[in-house]
Amino acid sequence: MKEHFTLITGRTPEQGKGLHEGKDSEAYRSATALVEMNPEDMAHLEIEEEQVVRVRTDTGHVEVPVHAGTLPPGLLFIPMGPAANVLIGTETESTGMPPFKGLTAEVEPI
Amino acid sequence: MSTQMSPTAAVATGAVGGISVIENAVCSFCGCLCDDIVVEVNDGKIARVRKVCANGRGLFTHYDPTPRPPTVDGREVNWEEAVAEAARILDAAASPLIYGLSSTATEAQRKAVALADKLGAMIDTTSSVCHGPTGLAMQAVGEPTCTLGEVRNRADLLVFWGCNPAVSHIRHFARYSVTPKGTLTPKGRRDRTVVVVDVRTTLSAKAADLFLQVRPGADFEMLSALRALVQGKEIEAETVDGVPTAQLQELAERMKTCRFGVAFMGMGLTQSRGRDLNVSELFTLVAELNQYTRFSVIPMRGHGNVAGADQVLTWQSGYPFAVSFARGYPRYGPGEFSTVDVLARGEADAALILASDPVAHFPSAAAQQLERIPTIALDPNRNLTTQVARVVFPTACYGVDAAGTAYRMDGVPIRLRPVLPVVRPTDVEILDQIIEAVQQC
């Protein structure tokens, strides 16, 4: 079963800490390769904490573990970093700014 | 060791036994540029850092100032060879790109602009994926600004819109905005009202007196509604895109009746649908509030000297980012000369990345282009861009061992006070050598 969500990306404390340890470090990888979801959405899709799901946008897809987050229903959050970058397109609407926030995304348990 | 300190650092050094203590060092990690950091240096190594936040700590503790040789195609070479190869790449390119600039001092940023001018290159800063839309808004509607000192001493209403300082600018609340006791805010936190507007309940939202949760992409509607309410117009609908009109009315009244309000804004506005239009709407709201009281807005700048990158590029070329010198004079083109667009369209045939990591932070399609074209990277640390770059210069780290000037998020220039002797070449020195080598090509 697939569901449509709105995806935003951004900083987290763990991502900030991980980048100092090195962007090739396990700390950085694990801090950026995850998706936060609303717990009710997780229950609806029968997804458990740390379960790996496929997140897909028009641009690409990643397989990342789910963390329950303080998000409203329908919203996904992925920390800025290599996993998020796969999902973000390059259309900047003549501003230079790619769509880092507000993407339409599907979540599919695998 | 105090005898090896650079002159700037030596002034700040008090030697206690074998340990040197540097007071009031500047953390150059984020746009707060906290200038009260205490660093203990023992035997040429940073032993302890006090007052620094979790984000800034790594700048001091994870940087190894030991000189490393530059590399060409992963092979260690001497500095002359690396400079010659960088110059050869840039000279041979028909459409070179210079990008980054935000985590180095203004002195190096000036050299980067000089190199772009010399090469007829495109030059862009990390602003284009951060507060570039804010720059566009400033050009459209102006910038009602103030300094963080005024915020600390005078502001009694703080509105954080689409930003999360508790995570991104950790000491902002304590040093500049929410809790410090100032001239007109002697009770600190109790003298201030804190409003947070965001799509999710962030750590910052938990510190707010009023939290306005907006739907992703609905910021423009909220700001338009607030402008109407501030002007005394009535909104008949009970909700505006899910937010109760009464809540917006309460915020509008607070804004009009405060003594001095300040809005801080971040990526929630610049990276969401509407981008620069969102920011223009907020800046216009703030300008209009000055008919009733005093109100300012400050963008929460991310990298330590990204504000300086805007300043330098503007005073050198007239434009804050996305500039091309290809025709021999500066032309401005967000969407045309901004780096994500340039890379996505395959329009650059060589790149010099100064003090930033676009491979880690760009959409993959743009980042991958940096692997296809010859890329030169100047950076104190290994990162994802240095991993793919053909030529890598491990340079000194500004604020830790390299001196210079950086601009705080409110546009105040701060002189950095390095805590270690500079042993590595600086960005300024390497860029100078590349400029000279390009002239001889």
- Say yes or no: B104 and B183 in one domain: no
Last residue of a domain, one of B299, B324, B341: B299
Q: Which residues of A touch B383 (CB under 8 A)?
A: 23
Percent of chain A at pLDDT > 70 equals: 98
* A-chain residue closest to B219, CA distance: A102
Beta-strand pair A75-79/A3-10: parallel
CATH number at residue A45: 2.40.40.20
B139 and B112: one domain? no
Other beta carbons within 10 angstroms of residue A4's beta carbon come to: 9
According to the model, what pLDDT value does residue B18 have? 77
Q: What is the mean pLDDT of residues B291-298?
A: 98
Model confidence at B16, pLDDT cuts 50, 70, 90, reads low
CA distance A79 to chain B (A): 11
Confidence check: pLDDT of B310 > 90: yes
Asked if B225 and B319 sit in the same domain, the reply is no
Q: Are B306 and B130 in contact (CB under 8 A)?
A: yes
- The domain of B312 spans 71-130+304-397+422-440
Distance CA B126, CA B138 (A): 17
Task: Examine the pLDDT at B187 and tell me if it is beyond 80.
Answer: yes
Q: At what angle do helices B276-289 and B219-230 cross, to 10 degrees?
A: 20
Single out the residue of B295, B279, B276 nearest to residue B230, CA to CA.
Answer: B295
Q: What is the mean pLDDT of residues B151-174?
A: 97
Q: Do A8 and B216 touch (CB under 8 A)?
A: yes
Question: Is position B181 within any domain?
Answer: yes
Same domain, B276 and B374: no
SS3 A11: coil
Verify that B311 and B290 share a domain, yes or no: no
Total domains in chain B come to 2
Q: Specify the amino acid at residue B145.
A: T
Residue B271's domain is classified under what CATH number?
Answer: 3.40.228.10
Select from A21, A82, A97 the Cβ nearest to the Cβ of B129: A97
Tokens of B284: 């216009």
Residue at B66 is within a domain: no
**Is residue A14 within 8 Å of residue A79, measured between CB atoms?**
yes
- Residue B427 CB partners (closer than 8 Å, separation 6+): B104, B105, B108, B111, B354, B355, B378, B395, B396, B398, B402
Q: Is residue B275 part of a domain?
A: yes
User: Best of A11, A20, A57 to disrupt the B interface by mutation (most B CBs within 10 Å)?
Assistant: A20
The mean per-residue pLDDT over the stretch B39-62 comes to 95
pLDDT at B352 > cutoff 70: yes
Amino acid at B53: C
Residue B82 lies in a domain: yes
Q: Which residues of A touch B132 (CB under 8 A)?
A: 95-97
* Total CB pairs under 8 A between chain A and B: 141
Q: Can you tell me the mean pLDDT for A64-69? A: 97
B287 and B189 in one domain? Answer: yes
Q: pLDDT tens digit string along B353-409?
A: 999 999 999 999 999 999 999 999 999 999 999 999 999 999 999 999 999 999 999
- Boundary (domain end) residue, out of B259, B274, B299: B299
Whether residue B105 sits in one domain with residue B144: no
Separation between Cα atoms, residue B174 and residue B181, nearest integer Å:
10
pLDDT single digits (tens) A12-55: 988 888 888 888 899 999 999 999 999 999 999 999 999 999 99
Using DSSP's 3-state secondary structure scheme, residue A70 falls into coil
In a domain, B20, yes or no: no
Structural domain contains residue B24: no
Residue of A11, A97, A102 lying closest to B128 (CB–CB): A97
Q: Is the pTM of this model over 0.90?
A: yes
Radius of gyration of chain A (CA): 14
Pair (B142, B287) in one structural domain: yes
Secondary structure class of B393 (helix, strand, coil): strand
CATH of the domain at B113: 3.40.50.740
Same domain, B290 and B435: no
Residue B407 placed within a domain: no
Instruction: Let me know: does A38 contact A6? Beta carbons within 8 Å.
Output: no
What are the strands, taking DSSP E only, across B203-341? Answer: 210-213, 239-240, 243-244, 260-265, 294-299, 323-324, 331-332
B15 assigned to some structural domain = no
Q: What is the number of other CB atoms lying within 10 angstroms of the CB of residue B79? A: 15
Q: Is residue B131 scored above 50 in pLDDT?
A: yes
Residues B111 and B195 in one domain: no
Which residue, among B101, B141, B109, B79, has the nearest Cα to B312 in the 3D structure? B109
The total of structural domains in chain A comes to: 1
Amino acid B5: pLDDT: 41
Report the run of H or E that residue B151 belongs to, with start and end. Answer: helix B148-154
State residue B11's pLDDT score. Answer: 43
pLDDT at B431: 98
Shared domain check, B295 and B151: yes
- ipTM of the shown complex: 0.94
- What angle, 0 to 180 degrees and rounded to 10, lies between the N-to-C axes of helices B427-440 and B106-119? 20
Do both B179 and B82 map to the same domain?
no
Q: Which domain holds residue A65?
A: 3-109
